[in-house]
Amino acid sequence: MFAIMGMYPVSYYDLSQAGVPVHSTAFRPIDDAALARNPFRIFTSLLRLELIENRALRERAEAILARRKIFTPRCLALIAQYEAEGEFTSADAREFVQEALETFRWHRQATVDEETYHALHREHRLIADVVCFPGCHINHLTPRTLDIDRVQSLMPECGIEPKSVD
């Protein structure tokens, strides 16, 4: 999905060193022209289930994740189409963006019972957030800038509601 959007993995972070049970990377454009058009990066993480010490809880988390589908069937079909054809028509590109957005949609309802959520949360809050909801866990979208205050002040002009800094 990210490669279709011109974003590639850059760097590797083992966050278990900081007590967070994930591997992470940042997807972003890699050439200067692409960075000028799209100066954003998306940090993504993979949950390290082997770091859940309680075996029964780890197996429960694995079973929950095995049932989850974070990509829509149409998004997967469009990715396969792009891989086969190497490009999209304008209509396909618009549809791909809409389907890709579904991947990152926020979900307010957990897919597990309260007991499971709390058991996973006691292990680590990030484990609960990743495992217990139907979509992917959103870390953050970061602009490539040295002046984050300026970027934040300009976000509303681009139709982006900035997160409160209070």
In a domain, 115, yes or no: no
**Percentage above 70 pLDDT, the chain:** 93
Helices within 38-113 (DSSP H only): 55-67, 73-85, 90-103
pLDDT at 139 over 90: no
In-domain check, residue 58: no
How many residues can be counted in the chain?
166
Residue scoring higher pLDDT (27 or 89): 89
3-state secondary structure of 134: coil
Greater confidence, 20 or 113?
113
d(CA 11, CA 8): 10
Distance CA 160, CA 31 (A): 25
Q: What is the pLDDT averaged over residues 7-28?
A: 90
Return d(Cα 47, Cα 40) in angstroms, integer.
23
User: Contact, 132 vs 117, CB < 8 A?
Assistant: yes
Counting other chains too, the contacts that 111-115 makes at CB distance below 8 Å and 24 or more residues apart are 111/64, 111/68, 112/64
Task: Supply the angle between the helices 73-85 and 90-103 in degrees, to the nearest 10.
Answer: 140
Residue 28 falls inside a structural domain? yes
**Residue 9: in which H helix or E strand, if any?**
strand 8-14
When the pLDDT of each residue in the chain is averaged and rounded to a whole number, the result is: 89
More confident residue, 152 or 2: 2
**Exposed/middle/buried for 43, CB within 10 Å: 0-12, 13-18, 19+?**
middle
Interval 102-121 mean pLDDT? 92
91 in a domain, yes or no? no
Lowest mean pLDDT among 10-14, 17-21, 65-69, 135-139: 135-139
Answer whether residue 14 is part of any domain: yes
pLDDT grade, residue 3 (50/70/90)?
very high
Cα–Cα distance for residue pair 141/139, rounded to 1 Å: 7
| Domain membership flag for residue 55 | no
Residue 122 lies in a domain: no
Structural domain of 20: 1-47+137-166
Residue 11 lies in a domain: yes
How many independent structural domains does the chain possess? 1
pLDDT in tens, 52-88: 999 999 999 999 999 999 999 999 999 999 999 999 9
User: Token pair for residue 130?
Assistant: 């990743």
> What average pLDDT score do residues 87-110 get?
94
